[in-house]
Amino acid sequence: MSNEKKQSVTVKPWEHAKASEGSAADPLAARFVASLDYDTRLYKQDIAGSIAHAEMLHAQNLLTDDDLAAIKQGLAEIESEIDAKGDAWSGWNIELEDVHMCVEAALVAKIGDPGRKLHTGRSRNDQVALDLKMWIASAYHEIDKKHTALIESFVSLAEKDGEIVMPSYTHLQRAQPIVVGGELMAWVAAIDRAQQRLAALVHSYPENPLGSGAIAGSSLPLDRTHTAAALNVGSPSTSSIDGTASRDAGIDFVYALSMTAMTLSRWAEQWIIYASTEFSFIKLDDLYTTGSSMMPQKQNPDMLELVRGKVAGVYGQLVALLTMTKGITVGYNRDLQEDKRFIFAAYDAVCDCLDMAANIVKTTRFKDETIAAKLNEGFLDATSLAEYLVNRGVPFRTSHQIVGTLVRKCQAENLTELSNLSIEDMTAACSEFNVTFDQDVYDWLTPQNVVKRYQSSGNSGLPGFHEQLAHWKNVLANDAE
């Protein structure tokens, strides 16, 4: 290769207005402006966009048949090389700053002038906007599968342990009796909502930025609908300025990831508490606990704690994106190069957390005997007793007051359960309300009875759990088809 040919490949092709090498002459400047340490993962999207762009240029008589054939063949070879070698691909060159220029330089080295024609009517500004949009769409499909896998893990655990009766908690205080499956279905509902949020936000920007150029468009007869149809990325963006500089899709993507991370963090906190000696509701698999360097007996829920901890980083990526974009002008600014660093980091962290959560859920069991040993503490059936009275025509506020009186009576007599009271005790304690109790009151008492009596839609007792479990099994079966 001649020196002139070599120079045309390696010198930054956007620095021709400078008499010197520009930023390439300063190693710090070259490293400072480069994004190759994180944007190489866009290579498939970059190549797909380039092929669509080349086909459009050919349709508009801006490339010959031979040009198009050479470009497509060269890009296919480059993609195969990167597939095989990854980060070790010889075409990664920090002087060329990013994935786009590295791929283009490698193409020019392979095919010569046809490769130099590829950038006709295109800027890195609209090129990267397209690549990022396509990457988010691809990433969404991968993380969507991970949400589904986690839901499957919860459903599987619910099938095994779902009928165990346990306390529910508000304010971290015992509330009403539920079944384990009722709580597991709550996590399924939350994960499903996070999954649907991602789908809604990812698909809320159906626009193709390619063809916007650097900012103002092009005087060449570009057919933006051609590339839009070829890439299935929506219609051309209505504004070339906004098309190159908007990162709303990326911000919304990371917001949705943050909400998933928040849900996982709440679940991790719940199970950290449940795994403690004080609760001992669940047994975590040894794979997902760690010991102490000093205390031999410890089995710490480190994986759950790290799921909880990693949400801070995901929140940080969202705040970084919002902060980065708040002060830039309406057109493209180089600040936006950093967007991918934040987006990729948030995505990677949430993917890892979803995978870890699915593994933990699949290998965890609820401890029926331990839960049952203290199940009757805390008067979990108090609300049920109030509803018993409502069914006998007593206004709810009066019922609430009556049951509160009975709870105080139990506490004064060191009784742990409302069912320890006799019919006579109940009637005597509430004589001022002119209320009587019958033997059937005991059918409304004890957690085991209460979880069978829930009737309202979506309840977390046995009827609601069975209905929700059947629903989710059906959903998963249909998704698998």
Q: Which residues are catalytic?
A: 171, 292
Give the span between the Cα atoms of 166 and 163, in whole angstroms. 9
Taking a C-beta distance cutoff of 8 angstroms, is the pair 134, 74 a contact? no
Residue ranges of the alpha helices (H) in 365-421?
368-373, 382-391, 396-412
What count of Cα atoms within 13 Å lies in the side-chain half-sphere of residue 317? 28
- Residue 200: how many CB atoms within 10 A of its CB? 11
Cα maximum dimension of the chain: 107
Rounded CA separation 245/454 (Å): 54
- Whether the CB-CB separation of 223 and 56 falls below 8 Å is answered with yes
Q: Are 4 and 309 in contact (CB under 8 A)?
A: no
DSSP letters, 239-267, are -HHHHHH--HHHHHHHHHHHHHHHHHHHH
Q: Decide: 263 and 190 in contact? Cβ < 8 Å.
A: yes
Q: 342: part of which helix (H) or strand (E)?
A: helix 339-363
φ, ψ of residue 283 in degrees (nearest 5):
-115, 115
Which of 442, 470, 376, 444 has its CA nearest to residue 158?
470
